[in-house]
Amino acid sequence: MAQRNIFKTGAALILALAFFVTAPCSALAATPRVTSSAAILVDAGTGQVYFGKNERVRSEPASLTKIMTAVLALENGNLSDVVTVGGRAAAVEDGSIIELRKGDKIVLGELLKAALICSANDSTVAIAEHVGGNYNQFITMMNTKAAVLGMFGTRYANTNGFHDPNHYTTAYDLAVLTRYALGHPKFNELVQTREATVNWTEPAKTMDVGNTNRLLRGGYEGVDGVKTGTTAAAGNCLIASATQDGRRLIAVALNANDRYRDCINMFDYGFKVVKLVTVIMAGQNAASLAVDGGVNAEVGAVAEKNLEVCLDPADINGLRQQLELPEQVTAPVEAGQKLGELAYVLRDREVGRVNLVAGASVPKKSWARQFLDRFF
């Protein structure tokens, strides 16, 4: 049956939204000011995008690459495995390293710790060779995982983010990846660890390491991750997460003049400006739907439940309703029967969706009534 897909807005909708803002906004500020070439702010729980700047433009990820390396290690490796370091990992000398030597024996979990906390480039190569069987196979695994996650603007050529023309991503893809990675408890633990000790199995030695993310050291309330990245080509990059009042946000800043301030500004926007708004109440009529063969010609399509969305109150006027309903429904119709769905869209992004159900029962016409209606 054909479906209606309708966008609509009006004064009544706008007034209703303004009325249901749960708390007054202290500053209906413009979108956050960032110096980054590309940036994005998303809700870690829902994936809703609150702010974006060139978020789908191809960019270099630098050491933010290591998030994918870590995900594959967690999903395909055993963190208690003892890894024997090969020559390729031992040969890495650029950037942050833990000075692995060929033949060193170190537990995979310790390599992961070094990769995520102090951004050790040599540790990611050792991880790749152990988990993937060989380095190139691990790169294939990285690209396959990116495709599975819907990171269609991403391609990996290495495990650590060194410059390569075939190594790139987008701020949007990095937000998708980070949101996924934060679902792993061990990843969550490591990316908010300020300081740690990396332990070797053979030779027996240790190295104290510190997190490269300065926001973890009191830079912002509720910061709980995630990863820095820096190369000459990528510039200064940061993915940060913060949690306040039970809501976690992810901010991505790429090629920034001040990556920490950029993420703080995005967090301020997300926590202080963006508010929870009730856009439709349970039982509120959204549309009328024709009923074929019913004692009534139509039935109200009402919201199954209250729908709350987070948005900047300044964006209320730009919110659009998208009705997804068939052209008609056939009697009998039961009250509460699902008829379709209603989505709310802001700047081409869906921000919320609710089922539309029948507001009343519509019995089927008797055969006698149908006969009379047809011929008389």
Q: 220 in helix, strand or coil? A: coil
Which pLDDT value is given to residue 291? 95
In the chain, the N- to C-terminal Cα span, in Å, equals 29
Which pLDDT value is given to residue 21? 33
Which pLDDT value is given to residue 313? 87
The residues near 41 (Cβ < 8 Å, ≥ 6 apart) are 32, 49, 50, 51, 52, 249, 250, 251, 252, 266, 267, 269, 270
d(CA 207, CA 98): 8
- Which of 29, 4, 46 has the alpha carbon at shortest distance from 307? 46
Which pLDDT value is given to residue 349? 85
Q: How far is CA 306 from the centre of its chain?
A: 24
Q: 312 in helix, strand or coil? A: coil
Which pLDDT value is given to residue 130? 98
Which pLDDT value is given to residue 375? 66
- Which of 266, 261, 237 has the alpha carbon at shortest distance from 249? 266
Q: How far is CA 175 from the centre of its chain?
A: 5
Residue 70 in tokens? 């870590």
Q: In the chain, what are the domain boundaries?
A: 3-21+278-375, 38-256
Helix ranges (H only) for 96-250 are 108-117, 121-132, 135-148, 171-181, 185-191
Q: 18 in helix, strand or coil? A: helix
Q: Residue 163 to residues 160, 177, 236: CA-CA distances in angstroms?
A: 9, 20, 13
What Rg value do the Cα atoms of the chain yield, rounded?
26
pTM (2 d.p.): 0.85
Average pLDDT along the chain, 376 residues, taken 10 residues at a time: 43 33 37 96 94 97 98 98 98 96 98 98 98 98 98 98 97 98 98 98 97 93 97 98 97 98 98 93 96 93 96 89 96 96 92 96 78 64
Q: Degrees (nearest 5) of the Cα angle 110, 170, 133?
A: 40
DSSP E strands: which ranges in the chain? 3-8, 38-43, 49-53, 82-84, 105-107, 195-199, 206-210, 223-231, 235-244, 247-256, 275-280, 285-292, 298-303, 307-311, 320-326, 328-330, 338-346, 349-358
Which pLDDT value is given to residue 15? 30
| Whether the Cβ atoms of residue 334 and residue 358 lie closer than 8 Å to each other | yes
d(CA 238, CA 262): 9
Which CATH superfamily does the domain covering 3-21+278-375 fall into? Answer: D-Ala-D-Ala carboxypeptidase, C-terminal domain (2.60.410.10)
Helix ranges (H only) for the chain are 11-19, 66-76, 87-90, 108-117, 121-132, 135-148, 171-181, 185-191, 259-268, 367-375
Just list the catalytic residues: 63, 66, 119
Which pLDDT value is given to residue 347? 84
> 38-256 maps to which CATH number?
3.40.710.10
Go through 89-101 and write b for each residue having 16 or more CB atoms within 10 A of its CB, e for each that does not: bbebeebbbbebe
